[in-house]
Structures are given as structure tokens and as C-alpha cells.
Structure 1
Amino acid sequence: MPTPSLQDGIDKAGSAVRLRWTDAPQAWTPPVVRPEYSGWQKEQAAWKDGVALMDLSYHMWDTFVTGPDATRMLRELSANDYERFAVNQAKQLVVVNENGYLVGDAILLRRGEQDYVITGRPTVQNWLTYQAQQRGYDVSLTSDPDCSRDPAHIPPFFRYQVQGPYAQQLIESAFGGPLPETRFFHASDVTLAGKTFRALRHGMAGQPGYEFIGDHADHTPVKEALMRAGEEFGLERVGSLAYPTAQAEGGWIPAPIPAIYDDSASQRAYRSWLPLHTPDGMQPLNGSFYSPEISDYYVTPYELGYGRSISFQHDFLGRDALRALKDAGRRHKVTLVMDAGDVAAALGADHGAVNTLAKQRVESDGTLVGTTEYTAFSDPYGTMLSLALVSQDQAAPGTEVTVVWGNHPGGDTAPDADLGLPRIRATVQPCPYNEFARTGYRQD
């Protein structure tokens, strides 16, 4: 890997927190896709009340895993079950470090007996690539980056997501009938506009729908066919301002801090291999919650709700430590529904689209009880929704808490310093907040 490395950056900054901390973060938006088509508020409403088309082709990394040891490598480096993992099935890949804390998650699609593709942020992909090299697996891992650095880069796949209450009607109109019966997170081969590709039953905002994945060379005729079919159902294309806010309704925390900063020889060697200019070195860390210890930002898979994805029926890196964390006292993922008046007072009535990974303090009677992990403004709900991790005694729906909104300056300022930041009242609600995502999303 080229220099400077992540470890070089940490050494220069003085710590991992100092490297990543900022009090002037910028919101992330997907590259290439237009910011808005009909307006971010209308686009948000579409996946809740109508039907939406999301173009996911440009903002995710793909890593292709093939070779005689592909399955063995994945089984030994992740917490997932591979005994009942069928071809054309996808999983939420869960990878932990040797202490059981989350390195990251991604979508893993099995395309053949020893043929997989990992899609998402490069955190997990880099970790697996390094581990494969160190452990000598007979496996090939090749990565295709997102388009954030080079908008002219042509990705290998198109990815179109159609979702919302009218998604099924649109799909049946486009394809001339229902698609093959497909279980959740399984894919079927389908044909549209003379092009054959995969239809993965999946949805990002908790609404029913499909993600269509195919050769990027075929993206234009497939998209045009979907849009023609969508005209009678009021299809809305979703731009880069609205799209990232979908996660707040669906309950997925998009970028937890990876547990790769421990002071161990093995992790230091990994950071010396990993380039500095990756999300793990350059993604801003900010918010009213501040700690000089990067481990205070770590999470476990159980805190993020990934318990159902974990299998202890095989040995894997971090297995025993993760098992010990299963029954340990831990925080719980909830949705915080913020008081609309307090939001307007803190951010201004004309704040526009909001999506932020800021770690804001969640307090009860002035005492720290948790942190926000992802916050976005949802126009259909008229306020901000925040995915947060809170202590067990604050996790019951209806519990009232306070979010301290703003950015701690970091550095030598005390973590609990009173900075006079705005307070936003919030009510704890279930996660996912979207009822379909919570009750009907994975019925099969």
C-alpha cells in the first residue's frame, strides 16, 4: 500500500481522535447523482407514500472475492453463517476485531460456490484484503472504488433501487407481471429492455422493493424502462440530498467507527499497511460527545442489532471475545424523535436537508446516557430522527431525553465542559422507526 499510511497520520496528529476530530464537518452526499430532481422533501415522501427510484451505482466500493479458499477465508474472518448461504443470496457481513468489537459491516452477495462480491464502504474490504494476505489464503481480492475521487470512473454495475408502497405495482408493470418469488435478501435473474440482471429483494428505507444489479453498460435502457413504467404511479427519482436520509427511517447506522485503532502490534501493522486517505483516516469525527480515547467510540455488533447475523457454530477471528460481549451490559439502538420546535430553534427554520454522523451527547437530567450515531431530517415526519445508542434504562419507547446539539472543539477542552450548546428535547422510539421496516420487512 502507498504512503502515507493511516499509522503515519496518527503518529503525526498524536492520536486517532486528533487525526479525525473536526468542529467544521461537511455532510456526505453521494457522487455523480444530481442533488435534487423534484426537491428533496418530495423525494423523501415518495419512498414513504408512493414509489422512488434511487441510483446507487456510484457511491459504493465493490470487492470481488474468488478462489479455492474464498468461503473458508470469509468463514474464518467474519461472524456469519456460511452453512446455509445459497448462491444468489446476500447477507449483512459482520466483521469484528480480536476483541469482539465491530470493524465494520457490508453487503455480501454469493454469486457462485467460491465467488462473492462485497459492497459498501471500503473499511471491511480493506481489513479482509490485509488479513487474506497475512494468512496466506488461496484467494483473489480485487476492488473497484467508488466515484467520489473520479466522477468519470465507470463502475462495474448499475444499481437501481425501486421502493415504496407502489413498488410492486411499478415492477409488475415494467416486467409484464410479478417477478419470480424471491425471499428477502435473495436474488433472481430477470430481464428488462432486453437486458438480464439480478433482482435483489431489498429496501433501504424500510419499504418493500427491489435492488436491480447488472452490467453498467446496460444502465441506460434499464433505467429508462423503469421510469416509463413509473409514470402512472408518480415515480420520483431520488437525488443525493434525500438519499442519505433514508437510513434514519430504516434504522441502519451507515458508518460506525471501526475498531482498528487498538495499541497492539497486529493492529499497528494493519494501520501501517492501510493508506491514510481512506474513510478510516479522513472521515470526520465530530459532535458534542468528545473523548480523547478512540475506543470510547467503538460499538459491538449487538448494539447495532446484528445479533441475528452472528453464528458461533464455527471458529472466526474474535469469536470468543464476541461471545463474551453477547451477554455483557450494553447500549441499545433506538430512534430519537426530536422536538420540531427545538430543532428549528437550534438549526434555523430554513436548515435544508440534514444528514450527519455527528456523535451528539444524549442526556437525562444532565447525565450522559448515550450518543447519536446518525441523524437526518425527515420532512414526512416533520422533524429530525436520530439513530442513537442509549443505556438500557433509557431505551423504553416514550422515554424523554435531551440531545446536546453542536460540536465540541476537541483538543484539551474537557469532554464534559459546558459549552453552552443548544439542547433539543427528544422522545425515544423503536428502531427502525418506520413501522414496515420494524414489523414486516423480513417476514420470510
Structure 2
Amino acid sequence: MTTLSLQDGIDEAGSPVGLLWKPGAEPWTPEVVAREYVGWRREQAAWHEGVALLNLSHHMYDMWIEGPDATRVLADYGANDFERFAVGQAKQYVPVTRHGNIVTDGILSREGEEAYILSGVPASQHWVQYHAERGGYDVSFVTDPSSAFRPGGGDPKLFRYQIQGPLALELIARVFGGPIPETKFFHSTPVTLDGRAFKALRHGMAGQAGYEFIGPWEHAGHVHEAFLKAGEPLGLVQVGALAYATPSVESGWVPSPVPGIYSDPDLAEYRTWLPLFGIEGKRPLNGSFFSENIDDYYVSPYELGYGKMIHFGHDFQGRDALLKAKGDGGLRRKVTLVLDPDDVRRVVGGGEDPGFVLSYARQRVETSAGLAGVTMQTASIDPVGAVLSQALIDAAHAEPGTEVVVVWGEHPGPGTDPEADLGFPRIRATVQPSPFDRHARTEYRRNA
């Protein structure tokens, strides 16, 4: 039986947008983990006010990249600085197309001189593996899919537990019998618990203090139980899938932007190599913003705030395009929109408390002059008492305090004019900085 490719799906649908457009698509939340443990509001409050445990073991793909050419292939197809990349350090990997559009980022951890783990949604992993195979690089790949897509089921290769919140360091000291070594942001330190060795990655969410503990799955149960037991006196809260999907709105990370791979004729072979039933063919588009042109959904790493990660000291695919885009005043700005609570209750909640709101829909952001931008993710953030949207906004409207409106609705897609007045309700909103969280915005990466 022939496996359908992404290009097959595009051809059958008539266009990339025709393939991906799915009005009313359910928002993604992590698989396997319970939706809620004690309620999403208390779970969000835990990493703001106390201490929270998050299980990241099941929803990400992990790819081990090893061999004499591991660094070379990652550097050839990613914009990061590999000259300053220590063993034990992690970086947000930024792969881009020749036109300078992001393919989708991932977390890249350097495990050895020529050994890495690339984690996250698999679009960046596909990009690296394809170019390595096509270019004859001396490198090997081992992939562990997320638990929902692991053939035959079974356990992950790695556990990942985040401990976050103002009491995180106190809990960690209780578990390990004292503080673990002070570690720079996105660097790791080896730790041992009852003879079990793993690592602690200095990491945070929504600007809060904490670590991500990563190790062999055989130790998962013991480590998890140790944190639960030591956390009882501190009021440790386990975070479920609903609340877990929301902190990126505060911390300014845009999850899963549309890969810039669907329209370039030079990538036809790549699209034929990719399976249709993968992230590139199945991650839906929806919302009130609609365009027949998939290029209108592509994103520059500069728009995502990744400019500081781009290193022009080496040659890489997309370098010329990013050099041209550097300092481009026409690029959109990443901002946080604070949605008017009365309008949210009216539009989303039908006049009542809307409860939990989570959406990855691309909603139109407008001013009196017309279209000004598009939302990327919207979520209830109970500790700040608001529904927030991350959005990409034209520079002219990106100043904090600017008043805009969000058009809340589901465009039917191909066959209807993108600019048609479909009577969608409007939600007033105020532009604020991104990251919205002050600590994340000013101090989060200061000791990187």
C-alpha cells in the first residue's frame, strides 16, 4: 500500500489552504495527561503562587541526532550559534527556509560533541533528517514519537517533569536533600536521586522559577513519587492538559507556527518525502482570518522574537533572506492582547462566565483602518483575571495601550470571499507587551 505524501494531499485538496482549513477545529492539548487534576484555575495559580508539577513526558517527539556531521547538518539548516553551544546546554532551534520563513522551532539539547536531542513537534525534526539524508551527511537518527503516535504503544524513552513556581526551589531542595548546583538558564546539571542519575535543565514557564528534570523512563515512577511526597507540605499541585496549554500566552512563545514549506517549488521533493498524516498535513487552520494564499500564514523568526538567536557567523539555508529582513520595519510585532472581559463574556460565554478558553484560531485583529494583524493563540489566564491573545500586529499598531478589536469567528474557507462581512462579533482588546509576564519579559533569560 502506497503511503500518501503531503504533496498528494495538497494536490487532492487543490491547494495547501484547502488541505489545512478546518473551521471549528478543536484546540490541541497534551495527550495522556489528565485534562484537570484540581481544576484549571487552581493549577494555573500553582505556578504563580506556589509550586506545580507538570508531566511533559508524553506529548513531544524526541529525535537523537548523532554522528561526525551532527553539528554540521544542524548548523547548515538552522540559524543558531553553534560556536557557543556547550555540552549540557539547550537552545531553541530555529530552522528556516531559503525565503527566511520558520519551519517550526524545537528544543535542541547538546548531549555530546556530536550528539544532540531535538524535541518538540516533529516539523523541525523532519526538516533536519530530510536534508541530512539528501545531502549525504554522516549522521544517524533515532526518533521516539509522542505517546499518542508511538507504534504499538509502550512507554517513552525519557521522562520529563517540570517543577515550577515560587516554591519550586524549596521543593527541589527537599527532594535532593539540599539545593542543586546553581545553573544558568537553559543549561543542565547532573543530579542523582536514590542512586538514579538524570539531569536538571534550568527552565521556566511564564517567567516562574523552576527546573525540568529529564532522564530514562525506568526512573520515571520513582522520581515522580518523590516529588509528590515532598511536595505535600508545600501544597504541590499537578497540572493537567488544559492548564498546561496556557502559559505560553504569558511567556511569549508561539507554539507551532505554520511551516513555510507549502508553496516553494524547490521544496516539492520535500513535500513528497513528508507523509500526509503528519504534523505538516494535519495541523489545522481556522478562525476569522482567511486567505487562499498559504504564504500569508508564514512567519519570520524576527516576528516571533527570535532575532537574538540568529547567528550570521556561519552559512546556513535562509541566511541571505534573514539578512535582508533584519531591521525590516514592515515586519509584524509580537504583542499580547488583553481582551475586554465584558466582551469575552458576551461573545464567548453568552453573557456568563466563559470558563476555560483556549484557541489556536487565527482571528482577525482590526483597527478603524482595517486589518492590523492576526492572533496566534488565545487562552484564559485566571491569575491575571483576563483572556489573553498572542498576536502578530503591524508595527503601526503595536504600541502598548493601542485599542484594537478581535473578530471572533470561523470563516468557512475556500469558496467564500476572505473579506466577506460574515457578521462575526467583535471583542475589544488592548495591546500590551509580549511576553506579558514582567519577569519573563525582563529577567527570564538574563543569566543564559
TM-score grouping bracket, smaller chain normalisation: over 0.9
| Residue 48 of structure 1: aligned partner | 48
Contact 1:193 1:221 in 2 (8 A): no
Aligned to 2:226: 225
* Contact 2:344–2:354 under 8 Å retained in 1: no
Q: Indicate the residue corresponding to 2:108 in structure 1.
A: 108
SS of the counterpart of 1:41?
A: helix
Amino acid at match of 2:188: A
Q: Encode CA deviations 1:336-389: one digit per residue, 9 max, x unaligned.
A: 010111111111135332222110000011510000011111111222111100
1:162 lines up with 2:202 in the alignment: no
SS in 1 for 2:291: coil
Q: Which residue matches 2:90?
A: 90
Partner amino acid for 1:403? V
Asked if residue 12 in structure 1 is aligned to residue 15 in structure 2, the reply is: no
Question: Match of 1:106, as an amino acid?
Answer: G
Q: Which amino acid aligns with 2:317?
A: L
Distance 1:149 1:215 in 2: 19
Q: In structure 1, what is the equivalent of residue 286 of structure 2?
A: 286
Residues in 1 aligned to 2:112 and 2:72: alpha-carbon distance in whole angstroms: 14
Matched, 1:361 2:364: yes
Partner of 2:436: 433
Corresponding pairs, count: 443
Asked whether the 8 Å contact 2:285–2:361 carries over to 1, the reply is yes
Q: Which residue of 1 aligns with 2:422?
A: 419
- How many angstroms apart in 2 are the aligned matches of 1:45 and 1:152? 33
* 1:27-426 equivalences in 2 (<5 Å): 27-149=27-149, 152-264=153-265, 266-328=266-328, 329-348=330-349, 349-365=352-368, 367-426=370-429
- Once the two structures are TM-superposed, the CA of residue 325 in structure 1 deviates from its matched residue by 1.0
Q: Supply the distance in 1 between the matched residues of 2:111 and 2:373 (Cα, whole angstroms).
A: 40
Does the 8 A contact of 1:2 with 1:275 survive in 2?
no
**Structure 1 278/398 Cα, relative in aligned 2: closer, same or farther at 3 Å?**
same
| Unpaired segments ≥5 residues, structure 2 | none
CA displacement at 1:177 relative to structure 2: 1.2
Contact 2:339/2:387, CA 8 A, preserved across alignment: yes
The Cα shift of 1:23 comes to 1.2
- Give the stretch that moved more between structures: 330-339 or 200-209: 200-209
SS in 2 for 1:197: strand
CA-based RMSD: 1.3
- Residue 152 of structure 1: how far off its partner (Å): 3.6
How far is 1:149 from its partner?
3.3
For 2:403 and 2:2, the matched residues in 1 are separated by: 49
Instruction: Give the letter for the 2:223 counterpart.
Output: V
Contact 1:43 1:238 (C-alpha < 8 Å) held by counterparts = yes
Contact kept? 1:66, 1:141, Cα under 8 Å: yes
Give me the whole-angstrom Cα distance separating, in 2, the residues matched to 1:399 and 1:195.
Answer: 53
Q: Which amino acid aligns with 2:381?
A: S
Cα drift, residue 305 of structure 1: 0.3
User: What 5-or-longer segments of structure 1 have no aligned partner?
Assistant: none
Which AA in structure 2 matches 1:231?
A: E
Please give the TM-score of this superposition, normalised by the length of structure 2: 0.97
* In structure 2, C-alpha distance between the alignment counterparts of 1:432 and 1:127, rounded to whole Å: 28
1:395-431 deviation digits (Å, cap 9, x = unpaired) = 1111111000111111121111111111101111111
Letter in 2 for 1:330: L
**Deviation per residue, 1:5-63 (Å, 9 max, x gap):** 00000000000001010112012111111111111111011111111100000000001
Q: Secondary structure at the match of 2:242?
A: coil
Matched position secondary structure for 2:245: helix
Partner-residue secondary structure (3-state), 2:95: strand
Identical aligned residues as a percent: 56
**Native 8 Å contact 1:255 1:357 kept in 2:** no
**Contact 1:262–1:295 under 8 Å retained in 2:** yes
TM-score normalised by structure 1 residue count: 0.98
How far the C-alpha of 1:193 sits from its partner, in A, is 3.4
